Amino acid sequence: MPTFDIGPEDFELDGRPMQVVSGALHYFRVHPDQWADRIRKARLMGLNTIETYVPWNFHAPDPDVFDLTGRRDLARFLDLVAAEGLYAIVRPGPYICAEWDGGGLPGWLFADPEVGVRRHEPRFLAAIGTYFANLLPLVAERQVTRGGPVLMVQVENEYGAYGDDPLPERQQYLRALVDLTREQGIDVPLFTCDQADDEMLARGGLPELHKTATFGSRSTERLEILRRHQATGPLMCMEFWNGWFDSWGLEHHIAPAEANAADLDDLLAAGGSVNLYMFHGGTNFGLTSGANDKGIYRPIATSYDYDAPLAEDGTPTAKYHAMREVIARHLPVAELDVGSSGSETGSGAGSGAPVLEVGLTAQVPLAHALPSLLREDLQVFTSTPTTDDLRLWSGFAVYRTRIRPDDLVLTLSEVRDRAVVLVDDEQVGVLDRGSHTFAVALPARAGDLTLLVEDQGRVNYGKRIGEPKGLIGPARTAVRTIDDWEAAALRVEDAPELLRAALDAPGRALPPVPDGAVPGPVGAGLFRGTFDSAGGADHFLRLDGWTKGLAWVNGELLGRYWSLGPTHTLYVPGPLVRETGNELVLLELHGASAGRASFVAGPDLGITEQ
């Protein structure tokens, strides 16, 4: 069988030097029917390896679930990598960051406040052991030593940037992860990665494990820093940051192709190996995006385009061609035959996606829709519960109580992350973690107070990893503390199906708009429209005039939209679209200037700094 080793100077495949030129391609951010297309384009750009993280919470959304099917079929993804003649690097965490919800760590793991976060703690390690036992056997079967594509497996992720535990305890934790990994039959080389920083490289690895670095510029200088901590063996940038992620409310980040290409050229000329982060970013479908909080909470946008060489819809960009030209100076590159734009699966932005308008003619007001969306009956609490208390690890929850005429204001210690406040079904304000808005005025009357609370993404980096979500009490008014609450999680993932039922329920739906008419301004609620289009073609959904909410096409949750920007379109993968009878559903939290949506010719990722 083939071998892959870390030699005194080089990576060695079957005893021969190998310069690893890899690209990050996350199977969980790409529709499975498009995996093969993206992998093929990686090979045509000159890559010889595909790297992917594995998000634990994506496969284990609840403690008694482990899913390896459909979008979660890592085995199929690795087999497609092998079928294209490429190798693979697998990074299973347990923590991955990746701007993913909670950095991949399941919210349910921390429902017990005594569970350790990224440290040598028995319950945390036991949970990791179960995770690895479910996941790593399929990786082990596909190691290069068994005729598969997997060259290396990572241990933890940028651990040098986390926490302040003493070095012996940190190394004890990492060695426990090594043991748990090896117990599942992983015999290929293990490695760690940390930012190209002396302190982080010293704190984040083990003497017996190969160290790699992460950086996005000044390649020669950063490789020299890595060499100080990796005296022998090949030097590798495990994350060459050729772009950056976007957060709601900020600009769309771009990195000039010329500068990226020059830094990549320096890296490869120095004999270094590389993993482009990202080769293809993809999309944070559903409710999977994470958040950062360094004093200001900033949730990650739905698009994970990352200004990568391969755009969100699979279109090769100018950066793709610039990097391909650089790689060709150092390694053999296949003849390019994908053209300058477009993907095999879907139309691609470069060729022009279908353009049409859709009227959202069926409507159910938010207050009437909420009862249909409840996952279970409201539970009674004698203090303000978190959504973790509701066993809700992602999504939305409803909180209810009664207010009096003299309450006048509602304040909370914190809201994680955003709450629409209603009194007797009328919106009276918003509580918002990002702007530190934790108080809202109440009308001077008795009534039912409802809070629709949104988890906008669990923090994926830093000391706030593992924190609970929801309302963080106590909840006070001008005259008292409110201790009596009812609360329950919502089934937003089932909103399209539940909308149909709500439309049939007496008194819940608004009268439908006549065929051909354009709906006027609308308030918060669930909305539905249908459309015909080019089946199998990529689409770009634009929601000008809408405020904030979720969008589904044919029952698949595309993700969040928000007028705050920067992103103004949502990517709709071609495999989701039929020729006729397509359904668009929106959950709008505030209101829109008109009840219509548009599909446009290409993406609009927002303003940039340049």
Residues catalogued as catalytic: 158, 239
Phi and psi torsions of 387, nearest 5°: -70, -20
The tokens 């470069």 sit on which residue? 350
Rounded-to-5 percentages of helix, strand, coil across the chain: 25, 30, 45
Contact between residue 566 and residue 246 where contact means Cβ atoms under 8 Å apart: yes
Task: Write down the residue that tokens 């093969």 correspond to.
Answer: 36
Q: Which residue has the tokens 């539970």?
A: 379
314 CA to centre of own chain:
18
The SS3 assignment for 154 reads strand
Token digits of residue 106: 């399941």
In the sheet that holds 16-18, the strands lie side by side as 4-6, 11-13, 16-18
Give me the numbers of helices (H) and strands (E) for the chain, helices first please.
11, 32
**Separation of alpha carbons 305 and 435, rounded Å:** 26
Measured N-to-C along each axis, helices 35-45 and 318-328 cross at an angle, to the nearest 10 degrees, of: 50
H-helix segments, 374-456? none
DSSP conformational letter for 27: G
Closest CA to 348 of 553, 43, 41: 41
Widest CA span of the chain, in angstroms? 80
d(CA 382, CA 79): 52
Provide the token pair at 429. 């304000």
b/e code 140-160 from CB counts within 10 Å (16+ = b): bebbbbeebbbbbbbbbbbbb
What 3-state class would DSSP assign to 417?
Answer: coil
Total Cβ atoms within 10 A of residue 474: 13
Q: Which tokens is 548 given? A: 């904030």
Instruction: DSSP for 58-120, please give it.
Output: HH-SSTT----SGGG-HHHHHHHHHHTT-EEEEE--S---TTBGGGG--GGGGSSTTS-SSSS
Q: Which amino acid is at 406?
A: D
The amino acid present at 14, given as its one-letter code, is D
